Structure 1
């Protein structure tokens, strides 16, 4: 079956980003996917960090970090609780900024890759400064060399803390960091031995950070003895272990498999992954080159790869914003949607990250996903209860947020989709919003719902009806 060019463009924008706007569909709809990809690559060359903790705030932290730590040791439970609340609010601000950045379309491919690496190098931090540092390290290296990204994340203060490497010292080694670097970040389970874990842990001894969020190597805590790792022997440090890991072809295969499942299809094709892996190694792990190779390949646009992947909660949220020009006026609404659907940025469930795929959907989240367009479009009262996750802020969020208060720009729709004939409007919206065609029964159902409506009201009701379908959950 031959795939229509517009479907290819929309497929590219959804997988390499978060969906196309009506203007982008119009601009690229008659151009080749390669030209659209070139635009996405060019648009993602610039690196613009996200900042909620500015330089002045950093200086205050540098001067007061030790004093604050000492104060907290003698602080009351309420004082500590207030400090943690302030930190969470800053991290929520970063969350809101990132969602808006993704929805803006600025550097869309870089943002999508940053989201991918955020799930791959899953980590929780408590301090806004270090959370911001790690996030911008991922953004900066998202389309660079994987080796640079791996080294930067391995030396990241929050990652070292999260995986207990602060406790990894020559006289009392802690293997957690070394194990996860191999199992989850590079080689994958079964491609290293228990002895490799022990020897790598010795190499990472002394890797630590200071209170200002900077990497520190502590020589007096480092085991400088001879080590044997992955069949090689030497007086290895952490950097040497990472280099040896990169020399193992299994690292390329592991990363390419995750990229294939995330950007192409949950069902892996080992032959295609082998081609990706060889190319990845031949370019010294150049991420931008690998992604260009994937998005330029004919197989990327095969029928079996279009509309078969379940959108993550963040992809659904940002996709709604992209499709309909939605502007959420309050950050609580953005956080509420993430919590209700099971993916909150900067709060992965564990070091393995979010499972993805069919795990995004259960009876509760599917119902919420299908109710969401009506709640947003009609500014209806929110009647969704968040799951109790042990966070006091979750309960407060449910109590404080009554409506989404989202502003929607319908002018783009008036220009592109307006027509007095409801059948024509539905056909246009279907082509724009869905990767696959509606069934005759679905079309008949929607046409009955919009019967008698014209203009903006017709567009609103038809759009809401389509976005409420299970098919809208796919990309």
Structure 2
């Protein structure tokens, strides 16, 4: 059972944002493969109720230029979703199709884009790519509204090939220009000003008079190609399958080098990438079959502690574990900004390249922000998730120093630490002696020591990995 719990915890950290011990036990009883299938079928679970959010945070409906209300909206969905993989995939695509409020200056449009990722992020990649090409937020972010038949702007065409589908080295500069010509005339209707009644949403618009309908040559294809033709050609490339699947591997399995290095840095596990790419192509670019293969694979099951948690994973995983944040009460704005203090400003990635992941999440400032946030939450005995862990420890009876350390490591993950870390934790526990629950005073002291031990554990190097 312990191995089942550890494997299930691994799955839920990667395919979601972690889970309480109660949830892990329920899922372990169902079985690993059954849990994977449930995660892959988000429609089987109820969606987030947006009216609960608006009841407490009405400005989150059309947040406009009022930070952090856009972040409040997004954080609420991350923390309360009962469809963890759907929300995790939306976060994945937000990183791949990185679009930021620093330029868009429309939180409502960014949230609309996140909703596209929720609705389509586990569907067909070709369809998602087409939706992004027609998404006004992306069009504005990459200047395709300035891409005219008589004056080509190559920004969208370049990033489509470099960062969204093929990767550097798999196309030429001529391909960039020809692709950009094919997307001329793809723009959006003029946005009505914010005042006096608030912003109206952007809408995609195709202007045939602004489209270059001339002959184009792209990746070996020749003809009067338009944007849809370009996307159809792109997804047929083997490089596309490998590029998308390497992103999935980096996000769900183990940290890879940063995307610009992929043209000369080999993948961490070539065999795994080959298998994923093969499934991607054989399924006609469907995402769910790739995820099913990935989560059921040995390379995934054996990849524990090889992925450095992103700030979003740290914050959301902590809030879901400790509980008490299911209602967006006052103060939710500060909670929603915590990932930005750790280096991941949700809805505002630093560039079209997205965030640099893996070890680049960590510096002296971001590490302290991580530790302080999680330690503060784990030290709050009023939170239901913290109390649930204390109650489970109490049910084990009097705890020796070794038992206290083992119990806290188990219930916080399980968290795997090396021998030197465990020795340090045990040495601290020995200073407290045996914890007893046989009186109110002893129980209060034991609970306090247990939370202090959990705070020490979340400050370890090992806790930063999933």
TM-score by length of 2: 0.83
Deviation at residue 144 of structure 1 after TM alignment: 0.6
Deviation at residue 442 of structure 1 after TM alignment: 2.8
In the alignment, is the contact (CA less than 8 A) between 2:12 and 2:19 conserved in 1? yes
Instruction: Identify the residue that residue 226 of structure 2 maps to in structure 1.
Output: 237
Instruction: Identify the residue that residue 295 of structure 2 maps to in structure 1.
Output: 295
DSSP-derived class of the 2:212 partner = coil
Deviation at residue 424 of structure 1 after TM alignment: 3.0
Deviation at residue 274 of structure 1 after TM alignment: 0.8
Query: Deviation string for 1:164-202 (max 9, x for gaps)?
Result: 111100111000110000100001001011000111111
CA distance in 1, matches of 2:150, 2:46: 42
Q: Structure 1's 231 and 347: CA in aligned 2 closer, same or farther, altered over 3 A?
A: same
In the alignment, structure 2 segments of 5+ residues that lack a partner are: 55-61, 192-200, 257-267, 436-441
Number of residue-to-residue matches in the alignment: 416
Of 118, 121, 127 in structure 2, the residue corresponding to residue 139 of structure 1 is: 118
In the alignment, is the contact (CA less than 8 A) between 1:320 and 1:326 conserved in 2? no
In the alignment, is the contact (CA less than 8 A) between 1:50 and 1:136 conserved in 2? no
CA distance in 1, matches of 2:187, 2:83: 33
Deviation at residue 272 of structure 1 after TM alignment: 1.2
CA distance in 2, matches of 1:406, 1:289: 42
Deviation at residue 291 of structure 1 after TM alignment: 0.5
Q: Structure 1's 26 and 119: CA in aligned 2 closer, same or farther, altered over 3 A?
A: same
In the alignment, is the contact (CA less than 8 A) between 2:308 and 2:358 conserved in 1? yes
CA distance in 2, matches of 1:31, 1:129: 39
DSSP-derived class of the 1:4 partner = helix
Of 424, 431, 436 in structure 1, the residue corresponding to residue 416 of structure 2 is: 436
DSSP-derived class of the 1:228 partner = strand
Of 62, 66, 70 in structure 2, the residue corresponding to residue 94 of structure 1 is: 70
Instruction: Identify the residue that residue 34 of structure 1 maps to in structure 2.
Output: 33
Instruction: Identify the residue that residue 306 of structure 2 maps to in structure 1.
Output: 308
Of 203, 216, 234 in structure 2, the residue corresponding to residue 214 of structure 1 is: 203
Instruction: Identify the residue that residue 276 of structure 2 maps to in structure 1.
Output: 276
Of 382, 386, 389 in structure 2, the residue corresponding to residue 413 of structure 1 is: 389
Instruction: Identify the residue that residue 456 of structure 1 maps to in structure 2.
Output: 447
Deviation at residue 325 of structure 1 after TM alignment: 1.8
CA distance in 2, matches of 1:155, 1:449: 62
Q: Structure 1's 169 and 50: CA in aligned 2 closer, same or farther, altered over 3 A?
A: farther
Q: Structure 1's 132 and 206: CA in aligned 2 closer, same or farther, altered over 3 A?
A: same
Deviation at residue 293 of structure 1 after TM alignment: 0.8
Q: Structure 1's 177 and 107: CA in aligned 2 closer, same or farther, altered over 3 A?
A: same
Deviation at residue 445 of structure 1 after TM alignment: 3.5
Query: Deviation string for 1:69-106 (max 9, x for gaps)?
Result: xxxxxxxxxxxxxxxx96232x6333223323222351
DSSP-derived class of the 2:187 partner = strand
CA distance in 2, matches of 1:194, 1:141: 30
Instruction: Identify the residue that residue 235 of structure 2 maps to in structure 1.
Output: 246
Identify the range of structure 1 (321-330 vs 245-254) with the bigger mean alpha-carbon deviation: 321-330
CA distance in 2, matches of 1:6, 1:226: 59
CA distance in 1, matches of 2:247, 2:134: 23
Of 254, 263, 266 in structure 2, the residue corresponding to residue 265 of structure 1 is: 254
CA distance in 2, matches of 1:473, 1:163: 34
Instruction: Identify the residue that residue 331 of structure 1 maps to in structure 2.
Output: 332
Identify the range of structure 1 (17-26 vs 34-43) with the bigger mean alpha-carbon deviation: 34-43
Deviation at residue 319 of structure 1 after TM alignment: 1.1
Instruction: Give yes or no for the alignment of 1:317 onto 2:280.
Output: no
In the alignment, structure 1 segments of 5+ residues that lack a partner are: 56-84, 380-404
Identify the range of structure 1 (408-417 vs 140-149) with the bigger mean alpha-carbon deviation: 408-417
CA RMSD of aligned residues (A): 2.7
TM-score by length of 1: 0.81
CA distance in 2, matches of 1:49, 1:231: 46
